[in-house]
Amino acid sequence: MVDFTLTDKQREVRALIHGFAATVLRPNALAFDRAHCVPDDFLMRLSMMARAFPSGGGDAELPSEYGGQGDSGAKPAAPKKGSQAQRFTLIGAEEMAWGDASILLCMPGPGLGGPPVRFMGTPEQRARFFGVFQTPGLHFGAYGLTEPGAGSDVSGIRTSCRKDGATWVLNGRKCYITNGARADWVVIFATVDPALGRAGQRAFVVERGTPGFSVGKIEEKMGLRASETAELVLEDCRVPEANLLGGEALYAGKEGFMGAMKTFDMTRPLVGVMAVGIARAAFEYTRDFVRENYLLARPLPRYAQLAAMVAEMGRLVDASRLLCWRAAWMADEGMPNAKEASMAKAYAARAAMRVCADAVQVLGAHGLEKHQLVEKWYRDIKVYDIFEGTAQIQRIVIAKRILREVPTW
Ligand SMILES: Cc1cc2nc3c(=O)[nH]c(=O)nc-3n(C[C@H](O)[C@H](O)[C@H](O)COP(=O)(O)OP(=O)(O)OC[C@H]3O[C@@H](n4cnc5c(N)ncnc54)[C@H](O)[C@@H]3O)c2cc1C
């Protein structure tokens, strides 16, 4: 039975992370947004503080045996039933995004590169690439799928890979890669032959410093400006065969492509709940503003309309969270959740955009001022409707599954 009542421990961890988000992330959010980066010394302090969080507050993409708080990398296909690990992760992520979503994306760790290494990597590869995060210093992983000609259509990637002796030679360009410029390694998806579609795709871990692997331009974005998004260039880049995720046998079927997709089933509810965190921040700010400025002082008709908007914002935040928690609960129970993960992400992103837009509307010109956070949340939230699959792509994923389903009643 689904039961979303928080345990005492979950409540305690949420309160701890909330305090951290309110006192460490929020006060720095605007300055880092203007600077377009989060300084390394701040990230170092942040990661030391986050490591002290009890289970549920730390790095969910890093398996527990490598110092993180994700599921064990040793048995990636068999999540512990009823573990609540995914939902616990979502609780922490909402609070962190409430504090600042840009800083959250800059946190050291394997990031989106974590799930493919967990799901597709051999035990040796997991030990090698996750082991990096146990060494001192700031360490990042990244996920390189998108290319100038292939964003939503991931089967259309053109980055090529060719086997030459004991190495693979990679050529191509990846774009908009989160933390790509500072990553110790990036999971790069390439193809042996574009004509083969998904069957031709391979995933490699390309390490920083590999000859032929370089960072191109850093994007200047409208939102999530403190989070670095980089172009990556591969020019006759020779990668050892030991860096082909899962080894060649994995690619006999559709496993390579499925590995990329499985990443999304794990990360879409997480991305959805980050949108919830931003939306909740905008909702709470607006609620307090209406309380303070309109409740007693203004004529009822105006207050009534604004109160109705605040009510709608609250409804959207709660509904989004529940969809995200359902998808996470299914993952925790070991149930397939691709449809529900897409529903959660698609709904939460669109709902959060509406909440942030309404926050500006209720606040009037005050909502557009650069020195306060509502304007930033309004800019930040749009990215959530684009990355991890656009709204249109989520609809395709959902529709395919709904139309294939056979009712069981
Ligand atoms: C801040 C940020 C961080 C990112 N981080 C990463 C990262 O770490 N790693 C990575 O690999 N990528 C990353 N991306 C890229 C992101 O995943 C892509 O932007 C996204 O997949 C959309 O691809 P696109 O931008 O090429 O748009 P397109 O795919 O060109 O889409 C343009 C429009 O067409 C619509 N569309 C496309 N196909 C269809 C269809 N079949 N039916 C209907 N409509 C369709 C889309 O919904 C969209 O509205 C990031 C992007 C951003 C903005």
Q: Is residue 332 part of a domain?
A: yes
In a domain, 133, yes or no: no
* Choice between 81 and 392, residue whose per-residue pLDDT is larger: 392
Q: Which domain CATH number covers 261? A: 1.20.140.10
Query: Domain ends where: 73, 93, 120?
Result: 120
Q: Tell me which of 229, 254, 279 is where a domain ends.
A: 254
Mean pLDDT of the chain: 90
Answer yes or no: is pLDDT of 138 > 50.
yes
Tokens of 184: 């110790």
SS3 (DSSP) at 78: coil
Look up the pTM and report it.
Answer: 0.93
What is the percent of the chain with per-residue pLDDT over 70, rounded to a whole number? 89
Q: What is the DSSP string of 214-251?
A: EEEEEPP-SSSTTS-EEEEEEEEEEEEGGGBTT-GGGG
Å from CA of 151 to ligand 1 middle: 4
249 and 276 both lie in a single domain: no
Q: Are the CB atoms for 245 and 341 separated by under 8 Å?
A: no
Are 353 and 281 in the same domain? yes
Average pLDDT over residues 145-174: 95
**Catalytic positions, please?**
388
109: nearest Cα among 86, 160, 143? 143
Whether residues 150 and 163 share a domain: the answer is yes
pLDDT tens by residue, 30-73: 999 999 999 999 999 988 887 777 654 456 666 666 666 565 44
Placement of tokens 């926050």 in the chain: 359
Asked whether residue 146 falls in the same domain as residue 234, the answer is yes
Residue 68's pLDDT is: 64
Whether the CB-CB separation of 159 and 168 falls below 8 Å is answered with no
Which CATH number fits the domain that encloses residue 183? 2.40.110.10
Q: What percent of the chain has pLDDT over 90?
A: 71
pLDDT tens digits along 342-399:
999 999 999 999 999 999 999 999 899 888 899 999 999 999 999 999 999 999 999 9
Hey, what are 130's tokens? 């996750």
- Report the range out of 233-237, 306-310, 385-389 with the highest average pLDDT: 233-237
175 and 158 in a common domain: yes
Which residue, by CA, sits nearest to atom 4 of ligand 1?
Answer: 176
Judgement on whether residues 104 and 219 belong to the same structural domain of the protein: no
Least confident segment among 39-53, 185-199, 246-260, 359-373: 246-260
- Give 148 Cα–ligand 1 centroid separation in angstroms: 10
* 127 inside domain: no
Residue 132 lies in a domain: no
Show the domain range for 352: 256-404
Q: With respect to residue 116, please indicate whether it lies within any of the assigned structural domains.
A: yes
Cα 16 to ligand 1 centroid, rounded to whole Å: 35
**Which one of 55, 86, 120 terminates a domain?**
120
**93 and 144, same domain (yes or no):** no
Closest atom, ligand 1, to C-alpha of 221: 1
Q: Residue 127 pLDDT > 70, yes or no?
A: yes
Tell me the mean pLDDT in the region 179-192. 97
Residue 254 has pLDDT above 90, yes or no: no
Domain contains 93: yes
**What per-residue confidence (pLDDT) applies to 66?**
63
**What confidence category does residue 77 fall into, taking pLDDT thresholds of 50, 70 and 90?**
very low
Q: How far is the CA of 386 from the centre of ligand 1 (A)?
A: 6
- Residue 129 located in a structural domain: no
Same domain assignment for residues 298 and 390: yes
The average pLDDT across 189-196 equals: 94
Nearest residue (CA) to ligand 1, atom 32: 152
- Position 56 scores a pLDDT of 46
Q: What does the pLDDT average to over 5-27?
A: 93
Of 47-61, 69-83, 111-125, 327-341, which range is least confident?
69-83
Structural domain count of the chain: 3
Same domain membership, residue 398 and residue 265:
yes
- The residue to mutate among 274, 390, 395, having the most atoms of ligand 1 within 8 angstroms of its beta carbon, is 390
281 and 217, same domain (yes or no):
no
Q: For residue 316, is pLDDT > 90?
A: yes
256 pLDDT higher than 70: no
**Long-range CB contacts (within 8 A, 24+) of 208-211:** 208/183, 208/184, 210/237, 210/238, 210/239, 211/237, 211/238
Q: Which residues line ligand 1 (CB under 6 A)?
A: 112, 142-146, 151-153, 176-178, 221, 224, 229, 383, 386-387, 390, 392-393
Which of ligand 1's atoms lies nearest the C-alpha of 383? 53
| Judgement on whether residues 239 and 286 belong to the same structural domain of the protein | no
Same domain as 163, residue 87: no
Indicate whether 315 belongs to any domain: yes
pLDDT at 15: 94
Q: What is the pLDDT of residue 342?
A: 96
